[in-house]
Structure 1
Amino acid sequence: MSRTERARLAFVVFVVLFTQLLVYPGVDRLVEALGGAPTIDSGTAFLGVQLLAFVLFSALWGAASDRAGRRVPFIVLGALGGAVAYLALLAVVATGVGDFRLALVLRFVEGAFTIGAFSLAITMLMDLEGGHGRNMGAAGIAIGLGAALGAPVGGQLYEIGPLAPVVASAVLLALVAVVTATVPDRAPTDTEGIREALDGLRRRPELLLPFGFGFADRFTGGFFGIVGTFYFREAFDLSPGETGLALACFFAPFALLQYPFGGLSDRIGRVVPIVAGSVGYGAAIIGVALAPTFLSAAAILVVAGVLGALIAPATMALVTDMAAPNERGAAMGGFNIFGSLGFLGGIIVGGGVASRYGFFEAFVVAAALEIGIVLIALPVLVRVVPDPTATFGTPD
C-alpha cells in the first residue's frame, strides 16, 4: 500500500516543482508580458518574491499540520490557492488592471500557498514506512524530475506564448488537489501546538546540519535557474527552448538517480554521500564555467546532476532521522525554509554577481559555497552521526 501512496505523493511534489520551473527558461518574456522590463534584475525579482513567500510560510504550514494531526486538507488548500493565484496573474494581463508590482504581489501569494502543498507532501512521505532514504529518494526524484522536465517543457510552452506556462501551472495545481484527496492521511496523532512544534526545532540544534546542506544545494538550484538561463542564452546564443534542454542536462540525472541513491544512503549511511557529493558537485560547477563549448558544458552539467543526486536524498533523510515523528512537519518546514533561502540566495546573489562582475565570478561564488559549507560542517557532522555507515529503515 505504501508504494502506491509513495507514488501519488511523489506526483504532488513533482507537479509543484514542475510548475515552479516552467517559467524559468523564458522568464524575461513573461516579465515583459506582465509589464516589467525584460532584464536579469526584473527576472530576479519575479523569481525571488515566490521564494521569499516560501521562506516565510514553510514552517507555518508544517507546524499547523502537526498541530491538527492532518496533512491532506492543508495540501489541497495550498494547491488550490496556488492555482487561483496563477489565474489571477492571467487576469492582470487580460484586463490590463495593475502593473508589474501587482504581478509580484500575486507571485508572492502563489508562493505562500504552493509551499504548503510542496512541504507537506514531503512530510507525508516522511510519515510512511519503508526506509527514510527510500522515501526521501522518492521525494528527491520527484523534485529532480519536476525541475528536469519543467525547464525544457517550459521552454517549449514559451514558443506558444509568454503566458502559456502560467496557464499550465494553474491546471496542474488543480489536479494536485484532486490527487491528494485520494491519499490516506498518516500524520501522527500525538500532535503538538504550533509553538511547541517550532520549539522542537530549537531543542534539536543538530537539525541545522541538514538545513545548512539544504541551503547550499538549493542555492545552486536557484543559481542555475537564473544565472544558468542567462549564461546559456548569452554565451551560446540559445533560444528559450534550447536553454530548457540545456538545464535538463543537469536536472535529468539529478532526478533519475535520486531514488537509488536514497536507498544507497540507507545502506551506507548519510555522511559519505553528502560529503563526497558536495565536494565533487562544487568542482563541477566551476567546470561548467570553464567549458569552452556548449557540448562540453552540457557534459559537465550531467556530471553535476549525478553528484547532486547523491547529496539531496541523503540530506532530506537526515532530517527524518533526527526529527521526532510528531515534529516532522515543522522539521521539514524548517528544512524548506533554509532550502528556499538558499534558492532565493542563488537567484539574488548569483544574479547580482553575474550582472555586476560577470558570469565566471558568479559560478565561483556558487562553487565556493557548496564546497565550503560541507568542509566547515564536517567535524560537527561526524560527531552528530558517530557511525557514518549506520543503516536506516527497511524496505517495505
Structure 2
Amino acid sequence: MEYLSMLPGPTNVPDRVMRAMLAPIINHRSDDFVELYTDVVEKTQQVFQTKNDIVALSASGTGAVEASVINIVKKGDKIIIPVNGEFSGRLAELIEAQGAHVIKLQTPPGENATFDKIKEAFDNNKDVKAFYVVHNETSTGTMVNYLDRISDLTSRNDAMYVVDSVSILGGVNLPVDKWNIDVCMTGAQKAIAAPPGISPISISAKAKKYMIANPPPTMYFNLARYFKYYEESKHTPFTPALPLLYAYREALSIMLEEGLEHVFKRHKICSDALYSGLSAIGLTPFAKKEDRSISIIALNYLDGLEDKIFRDTLAEKFRVLVAGGFGNLKGKVFRVGCMGEVNKYHVMRTISAISSTLAMMGYDADAQAGLKTAEEKLKAL
C-alpha cells in the first residue's frame, strides 16, 4: 500500500500531475518553452487572483521567501513582522541578516498577534519600509485571519505588503490584488498539490519598480533579471526545472477545473472534519481556536505518548505520514496536513489510523466517535 501523505507538505500528488513530468525535455530557449511558461504564468495569476507579474522560481518555498527579502530589504530599513513560530522566526532572521531594523510582534506559539497590535506598531513607526507576515505558521498550525485589513495600514506611508503564504495559498481565499498585496509567494508542494521544487511569486507594479531600481548583489534570486527575460522573450534567465514546471501547470489546471471556490470550500470542510474527528477521539488542538489553520492541524500529544514511536507506528502499520513538532514543540505536538487533493477518503483514513495507533499504544481512543463526528462534517462536501 502506498503512503498517504498527511504531512504539512509535500502533500499527495494526483497521478495526472505525476504523469505530466513524463513530457520530453524541451529547449528552454524555444517557442515550446514560451508556450509552457506563459501558460504557467497565466494560470498562476488566476490562482493568486492577480494581474501582477509572476516569477515561477525553480526552488523550494524558502527560496521564494529569501528572494522576497533580498529584493526589498536594505540595511537600515524598518520592517514590521509578527513572530509566533519557526517559520516566522526564520523570516525575521533573514530580514535581520540584511541589516534591517526589525520590529518583531512576538506572541506565544499557537496564537497570532492581534490586528490592533499591528496597528499600534504602525502608529508608533511612521517610517516603516515593509510589513512581512507568515500567513500560515506551519510549525504551530496557526493562520492569520485579517490579511484583508493590512493594506489600510501599509497604504498610510506606501509601505510594502509582503505575504509568505507557502503552506496555504490555494487552500483558502487569498485575492492578492483585492487586498493590495505587493509580494506574495507559495510552494507548489503544498495546497497546489504538485511535487516540490517550484515556488511562484507575485510582484506588484510598485514592488517591481523598486526591485528594478535597487537590484540586490546576487544573481539567481535577482528578480529584476526574471522581469527582463520575461518581457524580452518570455524566457527565464536560468535553466528551469522543466519536468516540475509541467507538473505544476497540470496541478494548476486541476484546481481551475474544479473551481477555486469549491477548492477553498473542500479544504475548509475537510479541516473542520479533522479537527472535530480527532478531538472526538481524545486529542486537543494546539492553536487557539480563533487562530487555527485550515491547512495544518497541530495536535497536543497525550500524556506519555512518545513522538517517534507514535509516528513510526502510524507510518509502518497504517502507511499514514504525519509530522512531528519543531524546536521547543518537538515531542509535544504532531501535525496533520489538510491540503491539495484532500477529500473524505484522506480524512476518514487518517482518523481511523490515528485511533488504531493510539489503541495499539494503550490509549483509550474511540475510533467510532471520531469517524462519526467527521462524517457529519463531511456531508457538506
Give the TM-score range, shorter chain. under 0.3
Give the TM-score normalised by the residue count of structure 1.
0.27
More strand by share: 2
Q: Which has the larger radius of gyration?
A: 2
More helix by share: 1
Give the structure, 1 or 2, with the largest relative contact order (CA under 8 Å, sep 6 or more): 1
Give the TM-score normalised by the residue count of structure 2.
0.28
